Chains A and B, each alone.
Chain A
Amino acid sequence: MVEFDRSAFISKFQEEAGDLLQRLNEGVITLEGDPGNRELIDQMLRDAHTLKGSSRMVGLIDISDIAHRLEDIMVKIRDGEMAYASSLSDHFFEALDTIVYLTENAGKDNVDPDLDLEALQKSLTKVAEAGGKAEGTIPAHEPVPDVGEAVADGEPSHEIADAEDVMEIHEEDEGPASAEAPRQAKGASERQDDSLRPKIQHTIRIRTGQIDRLLNLISEVVISQIKAEQRVIELRQSVSEMAEIWAAWSQLKSVLNSLPIDDDPMREQAVDDMSTLDGLLSDRRRSLAAFAKSYNDDTSRTSIVLNDLQQQGMRLRMLPVSTVFNTFPRAMRELARSFKKDVDLIIEGGDTELDKKILEEINDPLIHIMRNAVDHGIESTDVRAAAGKPEKGTIRMAARQEGDHIVIEVSDDGAGIDPDKVRAAAIRKGYITESEAKSMSDREATYLIFEKGFSTSPIITEISGRGVGMDVVREFIVEKLKGSLDVTTEMGKGSTFLLTIPLTLAIIRALMLRVGDQTFALPTASVDETLRILPEEIIKVEGREVIRRQRRTVPLVHLGDILSVPSAGLEATKIPIATIGFSGHRMGFVVDQLLGEQQIVIKTLGTHLQKIDNVAGVTILGAGEVVPILNVPDLMENARYRAGQKVGTVETEERKGPARILICEDSFTTRELERSIFEAAGYDVEVAVDGAQGYAKLKEGLSPDAVVTDVQMPNMTGFELTRAIRSDPELSDIPVVIVTSLERDEEKTEGIEAGADAYITKSVFNQDTLLDTVERLIR
């Protein structure tokens, strides 16, 4: 009757229903003494309604139907169509007991065969109807005496009575109902005995806010403990100093004792004093040592307990991932049906525990990945058969704990992701140039599916699959949960998505670093590597500082510039750098000092500072020092901005219609940067990926107010383009601005000789120079 995949919901329902039923039971009793209690009536109505809804959700229709009847009755009571009479209580209790019984046995097959739900339903319906007819008078006269007696006798025979009442209305039910009645009564009495036994509650519900406050206090105690441990060290020091003093004193004592004896009374006095002092000193020394030892013992004992306390405290927020996973088989079946695929879902490691907050967040990304796997990963049955694979596809979802992280693996045995198709689509969509695509490894190309907006392209989804909403998944995992997302794929064999999530949002590993006189924490999850490089390893490309790592160029940014924290200057000859990989981009952050990695507890910036650029929160270090935690997504965005100079709003003067600019530039980044600068300034921008394309556009009749071109481009260089423009009578008066990294004078001369109107080197390049220059030329 009850489907297997509902079991997870059922336990949730049982938990919820337990509370509701308890409250309804209490409500019935209170209402008996105070039948006009409006608030209570409303609350009971709500509870019955909730019970109806949630039982229906998990497919427990019987419970839902009974709750529905109760709701009907409560509605009538609320609307004044019937008054609450104590006689109603028995109906309520019977209904509630039945629901309790059904709830406890939900999902089990051994439901009491004697349970006559129909009769109960009918008797409740009758109560509701009778009440309706009675219009505010005491309802259901007929069953009342029967029920009253039965309960008074301690015999739960009222069920028979009820059944008979019902039968009066529905004659055709008479036969079977009366035949079942005696057995039913027995079953009911057993149930009633059960219901009289106090239930042992193994769980209590606590608001998460309360737990957080508790954890807050625990970490405060931890801080005090760390201070206490420091005191222990100080104390040990003073013990050893005391020992030194004692040694010195002993030496002095023996010297004094070895002096020749004379009868000077002064001396006698001094010897007396000395021995008193000697005793005192020796006492003090011993008691200090003893105190230090017991204090040390106490502190280490506390420390062990505290460690435990902290861990147990953290565990309060943990729940098994099965609470989320168990809803998936059903979701999977629906997905498979809607995509017309045949898929098995295997779930492993459901008992792995995770912070509640993370669990709440993780559902959607997992569903997303599953949907993609079903939609694009798993092939249709005949394709699979043709490829010699089992017709039924398999998706495996496995969770396991690795250190302080949870790893969730979602793998399918589908077609895999074709990196070439991703490359092709990315080029078509303008994410990368062809040359960039060529220099990308297959792995890097595959990562393009996580690019923002990349997925939404219909072309990419069509050909490569695995596109829909992968950026959303990445955003969730990386930005919200501070985890990481990885994908491995093999053509024809399938793909595996690997989600690495911190165990709790409260604790993460972080790289501690210094900029200026401040310490910052950088979440380790996104740190690729930490380096210490020589200044000469920094290369200048297009006016930007970069380093080469694993045959890739990594742009450098000074963290202090982004945070507006003045750098204290370098202490060592080597420059400390932390490189961060984030959503397919790599960036090196130059810092003053790398301090090392450690676990930190994340705290918010408080209620007042809701969102601060670049700062995700703070942590409190052992000594009570507060350290800001950097926000990687913000940093990366700002760094990319900065690496390409700031793009801000630029005031432009009024002009007739927007001026049009043609930008010829083969580097995607520079092109887009220039585009945004001009667009922000109100220009109409056309782009070309090289001189030849630019020239073609000009010949096609695009008449820009100015051309901005790079020098080194495939097919036609900027110089060649400039010469072509100058020698073409139709185009010759279009101003040409050359933007280049070539700084040598000869090249500048060549540019001017070619007929360029302006020559801007990328190293001095900024939006103002560029805009000013173009502005001047157009006017």
Chain B
Amino acid sequence: MNVDDATKDAGTDRTEKLAHTAAEVLKRRAESLAQEAETEEAKSLMSVLLFRIGPEWYAVRVEDVREIYQEYALTPIPCVPDYIQGVVNIRGEIISVTDIAMLMRLGRVSGLIEMPAAIVVQNDDCATAMVVDEIGDIAEIATDGVEPPLSIIDKVQAEFIAGSLQIDSRLVGLLNVDRVLQPIGTTD
């Protein structure tokens, strides 16, 4: 009886230990599975539109882009911040024209071309036409390919960059559209 008891006790111990280990293993497995699921999910793609400011390339989510506007008659508006070139009339709608390079303090859009192309970006609240030096292709990237913005970016520019992307071995800053679209309320 005693021996039996002891064996039994030892057996119980072992069983408990095993059960514990099993639980641990299961938990880890569940976690890893969950992670896999996450990875799976993150494999989804998003489209970005590439554009160039000076020598650098940037990207903007296609879903934030309303249209590309090429030939427009710009009307300058007095007393606006320096990065607002004025407004344009797009089919009866007045839209501001933002010099994105000025806004991000990257200098000015080169101005070599008479009428640089503009990307009309919008969120729920407002829209603006961003003037850029060149409009590139639309690229498909994995959603998890968006990395945090490079820490070396200038503080002034950091707020405009939502993340960085690797596209064809080129590092491209993803534009923070909401920051660009911050409504302008005063003259400062």
Contacts and interface: CB of A to CB of B under 8 A. Distances in A.
A620 B184 contact: no
Given A219-B92, A563-B78, A563-B79, A607 B125 contact: yes
A610 B79 contact: no
A572 interface: no
User: What range describes how many residues of B lie at the interface?
Assistant: 20 to 34
Contact of A220 (B79, B92, B125, B181): B92
Given A612-B77, A615-B79, A626-B88, A605 B96 contact: yes
B96 A606 contact: yes
B186 to A, nearest CB: 6
A614 B79 CA distance: 7
Nearest to B125: A607
Interface string A599-620: 0000111111111111100101
Contact of A607 (B77, B127, B187): B127
A614 B187 CA distance: 10
A607 B87 contact: no
A220 B90 CA distance: 10
B73 interface: yes
Interface in A655-687: none
Interface in A612-650: 612-615, 618, 620, 624-628
A628 B75 CA distance: 8
Contacts of A257: none
B93 interface: yes
Contact of B92 (A564, A613, A620): A620
A606 B95 contact: yes
B107 interface: no
A563, A614, A624, A626 pick with most chain B CB within 10 angstroms: A626
B6 to A, nearest CB: 59
Contact of A609 (B76, B87, B91): B87
Contacts of B111: none
Interface in B168-188: 181, 183-187
Contact of A606 (B73, B91, B94, B185): B94
Contact of B79 (A216, A219, A518, A564): A564
Contacts of A219: 92
B125 A628 contact: no
A627 B103 CA distance: 24
A216 B183 contact: no
A565 interface: yes
Contacts of A518: 76, 78
Given A618-B87, A626-B87, A609 B77 contact: yes
A624 B71 CA distance: 14
Secondary structure of the A side of the interface?
A: mixed
A625 B86 CA distance: 13
A615 B77 CA distance: 8
A608 B73 contact: no
Contact of B94 (A565, A624, A626): A626
Nearest to A603: B94
Contact of A618 (B91, B94, B126): B94
Contacts of A387: none
A626 B75 contact: yes
A217 interface: yes
Nearest to B187: A613
A618 B93 CA distance: 11
Interface in B52-99: 73, 75-80, 84, 87-89, 91-96, 98
Nearest to B94: A606
Contact of A612 (B125, B127, B187): B187
A608 B127 CA distance: 6
A722 to B, nearest CB: 42
B73 A612 contact: no
Contacts of B84: 609
Contact of B73 (A609, A610, A614, A625): A625
B2 to A, nearest CB: 62
Interface in A180-219: 216-217, 219
A628 B77 CA distance: 7
B177 to A, nearest CB: 12
Contacts of B95: 606, 608
Contacts of A625: 73, 75
Contacts of B89: 620, 624, 626
A607 B181 CA distance: 9
Given A219-B92, A220-B92, A618-B87, A608 B181 contact: yes
B111 to A, nearest CB: 18
Nearest to A219: B92
A613 B94 contact: no
A614 B78 contact: yes
A624 B73 contact: yes
Interface of A: 216-217, 219-220, 223, 518, 563-565, 603-615, 618, 620, 624-628
Interface of B: 73, 75-80, 84, 87-89, 91-96, 98, 125-128, 181, 183-187
The 4 closest A-B pairs by CB, nearest first: A607-B126, A563-B78, A626-B75, A220-B92
27 contacts: A217-B92, A563-B78, A563-B79, A564-B78, A564-B79, A605-B87, A605-B96, A606-B96, A607-B183, A608-B96, A608-B128, A608-B181, A609-B80, A609-B87, A609-B96, A611-B185, A612-B79, A612-B184, A613-B186, A618-B77, A618-B87, A620-B89, A625-B75, A626-B87, A626-B88, A626-B89, A628-B75
Given A606-B87, A609-B84, A618-B94, 20 more contacts: A216-B92, A563-B78, A565-B78, A606-B93, A606-B95, A607-B125, A608-B95, A608-B126, A608-B127, A608-B183, A610-B184, A611-B185, A612-B77, A613-B186, A615-B78, A618-B77, A618-B87, A624-B73, A626-B87, A628-B75
